[in-house]
Amino acid sequence: MSGEELRVTTAHLSELAVRHERAAHETRSATVATEGVDAAVKNTHGSIASATSSALDAVLSSRHSAGDRMANVSDTLRDKLTDAAKRYGSTDEAQGSALDSQVRPA
Protein backbone atom coordinates (compact mmCIF):
# COMPACT_ATOMS: atom_id res chain seq x y z
CA MET A 1 0.00 0.00 0.00
CA SER A 2 3.05 2.22 0.17
CA GLY A 3 2.60 5.21 -2.10
CA GLU A 4 -1.05 4.44 -2.84
CA GLU A 5 -3.82 6.80 -1.89
CA LEU A 6 -6.44 5.45 0.49
CA ARG A 7 -10.00 6.41 -0.42
CA VAL A 8 -12.93 5.74 1.86
CA THR A 9 -16.54 6.47 1.02
CA THR A 10 -19.51 6.03 3.29
CA ALA A 11 -21.47 4.62 0.35
CA HIS A 12 -18.93 1.83 -0.17
CA LEU A 13 -18.84 0.99 3.53
CA SER A 14 -22.64 0.90 3.58
CA GLU A 15 -22.69 -1.33 0.49
CA LEU A 16 -20.31 -3.76 2.17
CA ALA A 17 -22.50 -3.75 5.29
CA VAL A 18 -25.54 -4.68 3.17
CA ARG A 19 -23.57 -7.52 1.57
CA HIS A 20 -22.68 -8.91 4.99
CA GLU A 21 -26.29 -8.60 6.13
CA ARG A 22 -27.35 -10.59 3.05
CA ALA A 23 -24.62 -13.17 3.69
CA ALA A 24 -25.83 -13.65 7.27
CA HIS A 25 -29.42 -14.09 6.11
CA GLU A 26 -28.47 -16.58 3.39
CA THR A 27 -26.24 -18.52 5.79
CA ARG A 28 -29.08 -18.81 8.29
CA SER A 29 -31.45 -19.94 5.54
CA ALA A 30 -29.00 -22.61 4.41
CA THR A 31 -28.45 -23.70 8.00
CA VAL A 32 -32.12 -24.48 8.58
CA ALA A 33 -32.62 -26.10 5.17
CA THR A 34 -31.78 -29.54 6.56
CA GLU A 35 -34.00 -29.35 9.64
CA GLY A 36 -36.12 -32.45 9.98
CA VAL A 37 -33.87 -34.71 7.89
CA ASP A 38 -32.79 -36.64 10.97
CA ALA A 39 -36.40 -37.22 12.02
CA ALA A 40 -37.28 -38.31 8.48
CA VAL A 41 -34.52 -40.95 8.54
CA LYS A 42 -35.75 -42.24 11.91
CA ASN A 43 -39.35 -42.38 10.67
CA THR A 44 -38.63 -44.03 7.33
CA HIS A 45 -35.86 -46.44 8.34
CA GLY A 46 -36.64 -47.18 11.97
CA SER A 47 -34.24 -48.65 14.50
CA ILE A 48 -32.26 -50.55 11.84
CA ALA A 49 -30.66 -47.23 10.89
CA SER A 50 -29.99 -46.01 14.42
CA ALA A 51 -26.22 -45.73 13.85
CA THR A 52 -26.81 -43.72 10.68
CA SER A 53 -29.41 -41.61 12.45
CA SER A 54 -27.02 -40.87 15.33
CA ALA A 55 -24.25 -39.92 12.91
CA LEU A 56 -26.66 -37.69 11.02
CA ASP A 57 -27.71 -36.00 14.28
CA ALA A 58 -24.06 -35.20 15.03
CA VAL A 59 -23.40 -33.87 11.53
CA LEU A 60 -26.51 -31.69 11.53
CA SER A 61 -25.68 -30.34 14.98
CA SER A 62 -22.18 -29.38 13.82
CA ARG A 63 -23.59 -27.88 10.63
CA HIS A 64 -26.10 -25.79 12.57
CA SER A 65 -23.44 -24.59 15.00
CA ALA A 66 -21.04 -23.65 12.19
CA GLY A 67 -23.80 -21.85 10.28
CA ASP A 68 -24.76 -19.84 13.36
CA ARG A 69 -21.15 -18.84 13.97
CA MET A 70 -20.66 -17.80 10.33
CA ALA A 71 -23.85 -15.73 10.36
CA ASN A 72 -22.83 -14.07 13.62
CA VAL A 73 -19.46 -13.10 12.11
CA SER A 74 -21.26 -11.52 9.16
CA ASP A 75 -23.58 -9.67 11.55
CA THR A 76 -20.58 -8.37 13.49
CA LEU A 77 -18.87 -7.20 10.30
CA ARG A 78 -22.10 -5.51 9.18
CA ASP A 79 -22.31 -3.64 12.48
CA LYS A 80 -18.67 -2.56 12.32
CA LEU A 81 -18.96 -1.39 8.72
CA THR A 82 -22.14 0.55 9.52
CA ASP A 83 -20.45 2.17 12.51
CA ALA A 84 -17.37 3.00 10.44
CA ALA A 85 -19.53 4.63 7.77
CA LYS A 86 -21.31 6.76 10.39
CA ARG A 87 -18.05 7.77 12.05
CA TYR A 88 -16.36 8.54 8.76
CA GLY A 89 -19.33 10.63 7.63
CA SER A 90 -19.40 12.56 10.92
CA THR A 91 -15.65 13.19 10.85
CA ASP A 92 -15.75 14.25 7.21
CA GLU A 93 -18.62 16.65 7.88
CA ALA A 94 -16.99 18.10 11.00
CA GLN A 95 -13.64 18.62 9.31
CA GLY A 96 -15.32 20.09 6.24
CA SER A 97 -17.12 22.60 8.46
CA ALA A 98 -13.86 23.43 10.22
CA LEU A 99 -12.16 24.10 6.89
CA ASP A 100 -15.11 26.16 5.65
CA SER A 101 -14.88 28.37 8.74
CA GLN A 102 -11.20 29.07 8.01
CA VAL A 103 -11.61 29.96 4.34
CA ARG A 104 -12.68 33.48 3.52
CA PRO A 105 -15.43 33.82 0.95
CA ALA A 106 -14.27 35.22 -2.38
Spatial contact of 81 and 20, defined as CB atoms under 8 Å apart: yes
d(CA 101, CA 12): 28
Q: Which of 43-47, 70-74, 96-100 has the highest mean pLDDT?
A: 70-74
pLDDT of residue 60: 96
pLDDT for res 15: 98
Q: Alpha-carbon distance 86 to 81, whole Å? A: 9
pLDDT of residue 14: 97
Distance CA(100)–CA(46), nearest Å, equals 77
Given this model, what pLDDT does residue 103 score? Answer: 80
Averaged pLDDT for residues 35-58 = 92
Residue 1 has a pLDDT of 56
Judged by DSSP in three states, 3 sits in coil
Each residue's pLDDT tens digit, 4-43: 888 889 999 999 999 999 999 999 999 999 999 988 998 9
**Cα separation, 103 vs 57, whole angstroms:** 69
Rounded CA gap, 64 and 71, in Å?
A: 11
Reported as a single tens digit per residue, the pLDDT across 76-101 is 999 999 999 999 999 888 888 888 88
